Amino acid sequence: MAEPLCVLGSVNMDIVLRVPRLPQRGETLHCSEIAHIPGGKGANQAVGAARLGMKVHMIGAVGSDEHGTTLLRGLAANGVGTKAIARLEGNSGLAFINVDEQANNTIVLAGGANQKVTLPIVEQHGDLIEQSAALLVQLEIPLDSVVRGIELANQSRVPVFVNAAPAYRLSEGVLAGVDYLIVNETEAGVLLNGEMPTANNAVDAAVALCGLGVKHAIITLGEHGAVLAGANLRLRVPACRVRVVDSTAAGDAFVAAFLVGTIRMRRGLEEALQLGCAAGAAACTVFGAQPSLPTLDRVNSLQRMRSDASGTSSRRVQGKGGTTREGRTGAVRV
């Protein structure tokens, strides 16, 4: 079995505030609850993949503060290899997250040690990238380091998964080295010159992203599921319906599950997309980032519940003339 996965990315301590609603400009609100929860897109996706049964090691950095100690212990406890995570003088990365009563959130990042994941750190651990089954990166560390990681993976023909979050413009030269680009609507809009896709035209937007050079483009659409475009392939998968408690890390759960489905389980893209949607939905049912990342048993259980409710786990519909026709359940081939 091809393993391990290498994650090059951020490690944060999330400071989560429960608020009645998201504050408006200039407004002061009282929170009903505050929690310190390990997070960071890189760490979340590493933990998410490990909980789904994949061997994972991570390249990144934490600070010399107490948060750094807590973050490293948490990753190790979840089965993520931490030998390539540098312990640097100063603060660890922080994320300040407001979560309202409807489970909407806003996030403000303080990069801390994540901004010190420089080229020498990536070069030092280049062997981990080159010997991995896949490289997974996000954009919460310096872009030069992300690009170098992609270059090292390309040199060794290691598949590259890029979650282009937070939203940044990436050059076509960088995108040409990406096997799977995963973005939400906002991030897709940034890459497409501000033309943010909707659920109705998301397939066309994914095709446009492929036109920038990536081999496969996936756009997550929240309650509307996800779409995927690749060479001669167009897929749309609906979301699993759940009671949403907190949507933080739902995207990270999707990314981890899609990658594990593709690389470790060797499932087809349709099944991997379904797995990602189920994992993202499962993450919405638990408060906090890393605590919400589901195990494979939880994801499989949610998929069985959807299958039982619908009477079928998948229904393919062939669209005519490039149009999209969505079935009631499962993946739709368009």
**pLDDT, tens only, 54-107:** 999 999 999 999 999 999 999 999 999 999 999 999 999 999 999 898 888 888
- pLDDT tier at 327 (50, 70, 90 boundaries)? very low
DSSP structure string for 73-111: HHHHHTTEEEEEEEE-SSPPEEEEEEE-TTS-EEEEEE-
The reported pLDDT for the residue numbered 319 is 34
- The SS3 assignment for 196 reads coil
Length of the chain: 334
In whole angstroms, what is the distance from residue 284 CA to residue 221 CA? 14
State yes or no: is 252 an active-site residue: yes
* Selection from 55, 45, 51 nearest residue 8 by Cα: 45
Q: Which domain holds residue 315?
A: 5-333
| Mean pLDDT, range 154-160, rounded to an integer | 97
The reported pLDDT for the residue numbered 324 is 34
Cβ neighbour number for residue 35 with a 10 Å cutoff: 14
Q: At how many degrees (to 10) do helices 250-263 and 41-51 cross?
A: 50
Q: At how many degrees (to 10) do helices 41-51 and 66-77 cross?
A: 20
Cβ neighbour number for residue 55 with a 10 Å cutoff: 16
**Considering 179, 252, 297, 308, which one is annotated as catalytic?**
252
Beta bridge partners of 222: none
Residue 248 has pLDDT above 60, yes or no: yes
- Tens of pLDDT, residue by residue over 13-64, are 999 999 999 999 999 999 999 999 999 999 999 999 999 999 999 999 999 9
Share of the chain above pLDDT 70, in %: 91
| Mean pLDDT, range 228-255, rounded to an integer | 92
Residue 332 has pLDDT above 60, yes or no: no
CA-based torsion, 180, 183, 187, 189: positive or negative: positive
Question: How do beta strands 93-99 and 105-110 pair?
Answer: antiparallel
The reported pLDDT for the residue numbered 334 is 53
For all residues of the chain together, what is the average pLDDT? Answer: 90
Residue 245 has pLDDT above 90, yes or no: no
For residue 117, give the CATH number of its domain.
Answer: 3.40.1190.20
- Tens of pLDDT, residue by residue over 103-145, are 888 889 899 999 999 999 999 999 999 999 999 999 999 999 9
pTM of the model: 0.89
In whole angstroms, what is the distance from residue 280 CA to residue 152 CA? 29
Domains identified in the chain, total number? 1
When mean pLDDT is compared over 208-212, 286-290, 301-305, the highest value belongs to 208-212
